[in-house]
Amino acid sequence: MKFVRYDGGLVGITDGRKVVDVSDLCQSSVGEWPPVGINRLIRDYPVLRAELSQRLLAQAGVPLETVRLETPVPWPNKLMAFPVNYHDHAKEMASRGLASVQGYFLKSNASLIGASDRIELPDLPGREIHHECEIALIIGKTCRQVSEADALDCIFGYACLMDMTVRGKEERVFRKSYDTFTPVGPWIVTADEVPDPSNMDMKLWVNDELRQQANTRDLIVGIREMVAVASSASTLYPGDIIATGTPAGVGRVLPGDVVTIEVANVGRMSLPVVQGSLGRNGVFEKPYEFVRAA
């Protein structure tokens, strides 16, 4: 089953052709603040699953192409990310700070956008903004100190995720938390639709150029271990998002580009890149030249 948020905060389910509104099942409404209706739906999914399936079959809904897709979970309790989680990316960045050594970091929830949005580059002369191709793990229930053996039971579903980054040496959280820097979507695919999370292909293109291609079997810290590590430090809640880390091939995006991400059995989305007028600050005043390691 696929879950979407759309048209100002409605919550729906889709089969890839139509969208059926299920906002009433999670007391969600247009303009709801904070926008946590889908968090409730994720929490209650085991009880509501039969009703949701029946509605998707029975109701006409509206054509998917007529709705504006927003980020599926705009108000997670936590947006967590694992850095340097592929050996090839560690090599290209000449980094020893692997995810297995550093653990996770947090990004601002305000950076989340959806499939119908635009990536807005901040006004930072002398800095490159890079794409990073990742997968979002959406937590399905409240849990703490989860074992790797039980980790998949805590995952509600998966989504495509881009981790946009101001390239530099400053604090990772700051460089990755600008508004629009975490596109997630186009929907959440429930975990039962992914045959093997340890064998998921993903790709990213800028315009027509394939920049990144990898499989989750190559992760340094695997999906099960990420949930175990994250839950060892903090209680995880329904709707929390874990970003899996990026493979090699990161690179610059420019105004006018279109960035496309595809994850097997999950989905595909394309977002345009535009230049914004906000974001300049003293921290990023010094230019930084990105040099890919040999």
DSSP per residue, 88-131? HHHHHHT----HHHH--EE--GGGEE-TTS-EEE---TT--EEE
Query: In whole angstroms, what is the distance from residue 185 CA to residue 70 CA?
Result: 8
Higher per-residue pLDDT: 31 or 113: 113
Question: Tokens in use for 220?
Answer: 């340094």
What count of other Cβ atoms lies within 10 Å of the Cβ of residue 176? 23
Q: What percent of the chain has pLDDT over 90?
A: 89
Please say whether the dihedral angle defined by the alpha carbons of residues 167, 172, 174 and 179, taken in this order, is positive or negative: positive
Q: What is the DSSP string of 221-280?
A: S-HHHHHHHHHHHS-B-TT-EEE----S--EE--TT-EEEEEETTTEEEEEEEEE-S---
Three-point CA angle 17, 22, 24, nearest 5°? 160
* pLDDT above 70 for 294: no
Residues 6+ apart with CB under 8 A from 125: 280, 287
Q: C-alpha distances in angstroms, 231 versus 58, 80, 133, 234?
A: 38, 11, 23, 5
Predicted pLDDT at 95: 64
E strand or H helix at 51, and its extent? helix 37-58
Three-class SS of residue 213? Answer: strand
Burial of 126 (0-12, 13-18, 19+ CB in 10 A): exposed
Query: In whole angstroms, what is the distance from residue 267 CA to residue 52 CA?
Result: 20
User: Parallel, antiparallel, or unpaired for β 79-81 and 241-243?
Assistant: parallel
pLDDT in tens, 248-263: 899 999 999 999 999 9
Q: What is the pTM of this model?
A: 0.95
State the pLDDT confidence band at 87, using cuts at 50, 70 and 90: confident
Whether the CB-CB separation of 85 and 246 falls below 8 Å is answered with yes
Three-point CA angle 73, 82, 87, nearest 5°? 135
pLDDT in tens, 193-249: 999 999 999 999 999 999 999 999 999 999 999 999 999 999 999 999 999 999 889
- CA nearest to 227, candidates 165, 151, 134: 151
Q: What is the DSSP string of 138-189?
A: EE-S-BSS--GGGGGGGEEEEEEEE--EE-SSS-HHHHT-STT-EEEEEEEE
* pLDDT above 90 for 106: yes
Rounded to a whole number of angstroms, the CA Rg of the chain reads 18
Three-point CA angle 167, 171, 251, nearest 5°? 15
Predicted pLDDT at 82: 94
Alpha carbons within 13 angstroms on the beta-carbon side of residue 224 total: 12
Q: What average pLDDT is seen over the chain?
A: 94
* pLDDT above 80 for 89: no
Question: Tokens in use for 68?
Answer: 């504006």
Predicted pLDDT at 90: 62
Reading phi first (left if > 0) and then psi (alpha if -120 to 50, else beta), residue 113 is in beta
- Ranges 89-103, 181-195, 225-239: which has the least confidence: 89-103
